[in-house]
Amino acid sequence: MVAKSAEEARKSAIPMPVQTPTGTNDATGTSGLASDYTQFLKNIAKNPALISGYSRLLKTAGYYKGKVTSKYTPALQAAFNKAEEARMSIFAVNPMDRDTFLTMPVDTGTGGSGGPNIVKNVTVFTPELAKNLIEEVIRGSLGRNATTAEIKKYTTALAGIQDKAATVTKYSTSGGVQTAQVTPGIDQKQYLVDQIAKTDESKANQVLGYYETFMNALGGR
């Protein structure tokens, strides 16, 4: 496959980031004001679920080196500060909210004048993104809303397959022609569908569905 330039091929392999609204502009940081940042941290500091989700997000983005935690610690505060400093450094020319900035694809690999040879695109789920996906899949699979326990369980599961779900693009040049080989990762949505299909509730629903189809075929309903 003949690719475009290295930069064009790299950009085409990276999915557009998804904005994750968290309620107000102050929370996501669309105005760029310092007061937004203070309120953003206050909202997180009093919510263990948000602390856990953002500690994982910051760790994946490379700003936090500690363990994923549900406690607001000085190390986590320092990681938030590093991420905010990086976001504000490009805010004037490329404004974006905090969740979008933290979920931008992570590039890894060796570089050079022609750009990276390998680009690894990691989709990082914020707590809100994970919740939305889990609720969508459970409603579609089981016909009901997800419970709090299920959201917690499957959010952890999504984080566990994060690396396996990454799309890896490898670039090579031969005879002056550059090619890009794209290897897709696990589809997170299909992964959730498969996991839920293994539950007793899902299996019972399948049996009931087969029974209803059988009865309808016999004219029993």
- Under the banding of pLDDT at 50, 70 and 90, the label for residue 76 is very high
Q: What pLDDT is stored for residue 95 in this prediction?
A: 84
178: region left, alpha or beta (phi > 0 left; psi from -120 to 50 alpha)? beta
Beta-bridged to residue 55, according to DSSP, are none
- Under the banding of pLDDT at 50, 70 and 90, the label for residue 10 is very low
pLDDT reading at 19 higher than 90: no
pTM of the full structure = 0.45
Longest distance between any two alpha carbons in the chain, whole Å: 72
- Alpha-carbon distance of 52 to 175, in angstroms, equals 49
The total of other beta-carbon atoms located within 10 Å of residue 158's CB is 21
